[in-house]
Amino acid sequence: MSEVLTAPLVVEFPFTRSLGPVQSAFLTGLRERLVLGVRATDGRVVVPPVEYDPVTADEIRDLVEVGTGGTVTTWAWNPSPRRGQPLTTPFAWVLVRLDGADTALLHALDAPGPDAVRTGMRVRIRWAVERTGAITDIACFEPAENDPTDHQPAPHGGEFAEPVTGITTPARLDYTYSPGRAQSRYLQALAEHRTVGERCPSCRKVYVPPRGACPTCGVATDTQVEVGPRGTVTTFCIVNIKARNLDIEVPYVYAHIALDGADLALHARIGQIPYDQVRMGLRVEPVWTEGARHPDHYRPTGEPDADYDSYKELI
Amino acid sequence: MPEPARVPAREPVRDAARDVAIVAFGQSEHVRDSAETSEVEMLMPVLHDVLAQTGLRARDIDFTCSGSSDYLAGRAFSFTMALDGVGAWPPIAESHVEMDGAWALYEAWVKILTGEAETALVYAYGKSSPGDVREVLTRQLDPYYVAPLWPDSVALAALQARALIDAGLADAREPAGTAARRRGGPARPPGEYVVAPLRTGDCPPVVDGAAAVVLAAGDTARRLTGRPAWIRGLDHRIEAHGLGVRDLTDSPSTRLAAERAGAFERPPDTVELHAPFSSQEVVLRRALRLDGPQSAHVRINPSGGALAANPVMAAGLIRLGEAAARIQRGESDRALAHATSGPCLQQNLVAVLEGDPRPGTGGQHKEGQ
């Protein structure tokens, strides 16, 4: 049997980013169905436009309007679209040099198959129906073999009513998380309401929770040692701000607890005692709830407080 | 559009104030799935290996620097937990880069050059199996114009491969042949298209793994190993982040880093290239002038390269380690090692390593040999 635990883990962020003047004009332009580039120090028209010169790093601000049709400079056929990509059916990734631009823009090309795509082919933008001022306002490119190619970049002031000044880009990554051997053993013991640390074979210290290595000796901890269940509060803080999605009334106490037999304090909430009566040296024990994989909180045991000297090395 | 040539800076770092060498290299097995072990559990045997090779204890190391990315395994601050494997308490002098370990080695090298340290431990690890590395790597892209389209790492490499084919620098079949050679096996069927023109055989295997090296200065290096791999030059350069601004068929940043590292002063006998995709080896060979008859004797990627094992964040450091190990074993006298980072070879590092002349062999390769 495998002793190693795994669990699904989703990491998700809605990144909110502010835009500089060039990015703001470009993305607002997309909303209005026009494409702006920026003239670089060497005269090239850079699309999508950047705020600083790609070669000299000078600030560049001279905007020009380029065409909405262009030429494929390289492409790659994607037979299996993935989550978040512009199209859900097989498509070509393309770099497109828009008419009037000197650099290419990355996007998707909606084409029936790889035989319908070649470098040098003419394409045009297919605009998204709903546009917010984002690169995805370009839904994709589509073949446009008969479109004319002549387009001279025209100066553009970059002024728009209600310019877009920021974007929110959701990002999500999915994992199958594994904590490794030592932490799996710890979690499995916790499920049986036991707290099991691991001992360093070199310095003999017992780490709880174990992370697989002794941070002093740099060697694997190798012996499981049951500690607690009782322990001593070594230090604590009073939490006054309610955490989102956490159903605990504030104020409450969060403490470092040195379990009996452990050489490292773990941390947990202290309950069943008024927050302003918690003190260093308080003796506590875990409180388990039905079906939980870890203690809900620790409560006073009623024993006399521990002597400071007995836990001062663990603060 | 070609990148305008940049003016090389006046003072190459290669005439360095101190001699610094790689004196030990170790790596883990690279496995498809390392769910059995946490990062530190995977890394620790490698750290113990390089320390044992030098006879150093962790306490003897003056500076420790690591390279890794928490995004790979989705484990926040995994690099701080990995430090447990070094023995980081009481506090040690330590640093971390969210980059391939080759760049951690660069930082450690600079630290030794300044005289702040005599020895350094450099390590890197990558645990890609918990996530989807193609998706994870999209998060390093331009967040305004590119990342919202979620172009995965294979897609971007495929755009580069197509540009090479269009330019006549590669044919559609060549990449898979390169890959088969690098993996040391007979030519295998090139596999299915992942993102055409790249097939499964052109793409790096997704693996978990770790690597470490020990650096030491001057006489310390000589004391720690029989044949130190002296770092004669080390430089890294980056290109514009806009993919459509770059000429994807060329790698001016590799060429410039190689110039600055002194790579073109004499040909190497061994080259370790960090080319995760077979088509990228074509770009690197051109940038490093490895295709001409003068390079016929050069052994390229005797280790198998990143197509044999590509633990993300460690694969570049492994190139430097593999090159150094060949010098240490007496199988090379002058080696070039390359590491890359970012999409389509965006950032590149080049190291030139040499062994001391060996008695009775005529020493190092000379020009034109």
pLDDT digits (tens, 9 = 90+) for B7-62: 554 455 555 679 999 999 999 999 888 888 888 999 999 999 999 999 999 889 99
- Give the mean model confidence (pLDDT) for residues B313-322: 98
- Give the mean model confidence (pLDDT) for residues B102-111: 98
Spans of chain A below 70 pLDDT: 1-2
Cβ of B38 within 8 Å of Cβ of A211? The answer is yes
Which residues in chain A are contacts of B135 at CB distance < 8 A?
82-83, 173
Cβ of B245 within 8 Å of Cβ of A103? The answer is yes
CB-CB contact of B190 with B197 (8 Å): no
- DSSP code string of A228-290: -SSEEEEEEEEE-SPPTT---PSSEEEEEEEETT-SS-EEEEE-SS-GGG--TT-EEEEE--T
More confident residue, A68 or B177: A68
Q: What is the pLDDT of residue B165?
A: 96
Cβ of A212 within 8 Å of Cβ of B84? The answer is yes
Nearest-CB residue to A135 (from B90, B145, B159): B145
**Token code pair at residue B343:** 């999409």
Alpha-carbon dihedral A228, A232, A237, A243, rounded to 10 degrees: 20
Q: Is the pLDDT of residue B365 over 80?
A: no
Residue A67, burial from CB neighbour count under 10 angstroms (0-12, 13-18, 19+): buried
Please give the C-alpha separations between residue B226 and each of B22, B151, B271, B352, B356, in angstroms, as whole numbers.
12, 47, 22, 19, 10
Residues within 8 A of A (CB atoms), B 31-90 only:
35-41, 44, 47-48, 58, 71, 73-75, 81, 83-90
Beta carbons within 10 angstroms of residue B71's beta carbon: 23
Q: What is the pLDDT of residue B366?
A: 42
Query: How would you classify the pairing of strands A45-46 and A35-39?
Result: antiparallel
Q: Minimal Cα–Cα distance from B37 to chain A, Å?
A: 4
**Please, which pLDDT band fits residue B363 given cuts at 50, 70 and 90?**
very low
Query: How would you classify the pairing of strands B63-67 and B119-127?
Result: parallel
Cβ of A119 within 8 Å of Cβ of B162? The answer is yes
Identify the CATH class of A228-315: mainly beta
User: Mutating which of B149, B166, B246 best tests the A interface, going by the most A Cβ atoms within 10 A?
Assistant: B149
Query: How would you classify the pairing of strands A266-270 and A252-259?
Result: antiparallel
Of all residues in chain B, the one with the smallest CA distance to A102 is B1
Nearest-CB residue to B4 (from A42, A95, A219): A42
Cβ of B81 within 8 Å of Cβ of A211? The answer is yes
Q: Minimal Cα–Cα distance from A199 to chain B, Å?
A: 14
User: Mutating which of B162, B202, B256 best tests the A interface, going by the most A Cβ atoms within 10 A?
Assistant: B162
Beta carbons within 10 angstroms of residue A32's beta carbon: 13
Highest mean pLDDT among B175-179, B186-190, B200-204: B200-204
B132 vs A197: CA distance, rounded Å:
32
Q: Minimal Cα–Cα distance from A288 to chain B, Å?
A: 27
Please give the C-alpha separations between residue B107 and each of B64, B116, B216, B234, B359, in angstroms, as whole numbers.
10, 12, 13, 11, 33
Cβ of A216 within 8 Å of Cβ of B89? The answer is yes
B157 vs A120: CA distance, rounded Å:
19
Residues within 8 A of A (CB atoms), B 284-343 only:
none
User: Mutating which of A85, A173, A217 best tests the B interface, going by the most B Cβ atoms within 10 A?
Assistant: A173
A9 vs A217: CA distance, rounded Å:
31
B135 vs B152: CA distance, rounded Å:
6
Cβ of A106 within 8 Å of Cβ of B86? The answer is no
Q: Domains in chain B and their CATH numbers? A: 20-131+205-224 (3.40.47.10)
Cβ of B149 within 8 Å of Cβ of A107? The answer is yes
Nearest-CB residue to A179 (from B38, B84, B158): B38
Q: Minimal Cα–Cα distance from B271 to chain A, Å?
A: 30
What are phi and psi for residue B134, nearest 5 degrees?
Answer: -65, -40
Residue A252's beta-bridge partner residues?
A: A239
Q: What is the pLDDT of residue A42?
A: 96
- Give the mean model confidence (pLDDT) for residues B239-260: 96
Find all residues with CB under 8 Å of A36, minimum gap 6, and list them. Answer: A25, A26, A29, A47, A49, A63, A64, A65, A66, A156, A158
User: Mutating which of A4, A18, A55, A78 best tests the B interface, going by the most B Cβ atoms within 10 A?
Assistant: A78
What integer best gives the mean pLDDT of chain B? 90
Cβ of B244 within 8 Å of Cβ of A179? The answer is no
Cβ of A79 within 8 Å of Cβ of B195? The answer is yes
Q: What is the pLDDT of residue B177?
A: 61
Q: What is the pLDDT of residue A1?
A: 38
Find all residues with CB under 8 Å of A68, minimum gap 6, and list them. Answer: A33, A34, A35, A98, A124, A125
- Give the mean model confidence (pLDDT) for residues B108-117: 96
Residue A69's beta-bridge partner residues?
A: A124
B309 vs B297: CA distance, rounded Å:
24
Q: Chains A and B: how many Cβ contacts under 8 Å?
A: 195
Q: What is the pLDDT of residue B368?
A: 37
Query: Where are the CATH 2.40.50 domain residues in chain A?
Result: 228-315
Please give the C-alpha separations between residue A23 and each of A28, A50, A61, in angstroms, as whole numbers.
8, 7, 10
Residues within 8 A of A (CB atoms), B 146-165 only:
146-152, 155-156, 158-163
Find all residues with CB under 8 Å of B124, minimum gap 6, and list them. Answer: B66, B67, B68, B100, B101, B102, B104, B210, B211, B212, B313, B314, B316, B317
User: Mutating which of B38, B72, B165, B243 best tests the A interface, going by the most A Cβ atoms within 10 A?
Assistant: B38
Instruction: Check the CA dihedral A143-A148-A150-A155 and report its sign.
Output: negative
Of all residues in chain A, the one with the smallest CA distance to B151 is A85
pTM (2 d.p.) = 0.91
Which residues in chain B are contacts of A17 at CB distance < 8 A?
143-144
Q: Is B167 on the interface with A (CB under 8 A)?
A: no
Q: Minimal Cα–Cα distance from A96 to chain B, Å?
A: 8
CB-CB contact of B201 with B277 (8 Å): no
Find all residues with CB under 8 Å of B53, minimum gap 6, and list them. Answer: B23, B24, B26, B214, B225
As for the ipTM of the complex, it is: 0.90
Which helix (DSSP H) or strand (DSSP E) does residue B109 occupy? helix B101-113
Beta carbons within 10 angstroms of residue A269's beta carbon: 17
Q: Which of B209, B224, B196 is nearest to B54 (CA)?
A: B224
Q: Minimal Cα–Cα distance from A192 to chain B, Å?
A: 21
What are phi and psi for residue B222, nearest 5 degrees?
Answer: -65, -35
The packing angle between helices B278-287 and B174-182, to 10°, is 90
Q: Minimal Cα–Cα distance from B334 to chain A, Å?
A: 33
Q: What is the pLDDT of residue B178?
A: 63
Residue A18's beta-bridge partner residues?
A: A166
Q: What is the pLDDT of residue A115?
A: 97
User: Mutating which of A4, A93, A115 best tests the B interface, going by the most B Cβ atoms within 10 A?
Assistant: A93
Q: What is the pLDDT of residue B173?
A: 63
B17 vs B10: CA distance, rounded Å:
16
Calculate what percentage of chain B has a pLDDT beyond 90. 76
- DSSP code string of B317-369: HHHHHHHHHHHHTTS-SEEEEEEEESTTS-EEEEEEEEPPPPTTTTSSPPTT-
Please give the C-alpha separations between residue B129 and each of B30, B39, B134, B314, B332, in angstroms, as whole numbers.
11, 12, 11, 14, 34
Q: Minimal Cα–Cα distance from B155 to chain A, Å?
A: 7
Cβ of A93 within 8 Å of Cβ of B150? The answer is no
**Token code pair at residue A306:** 């521990």
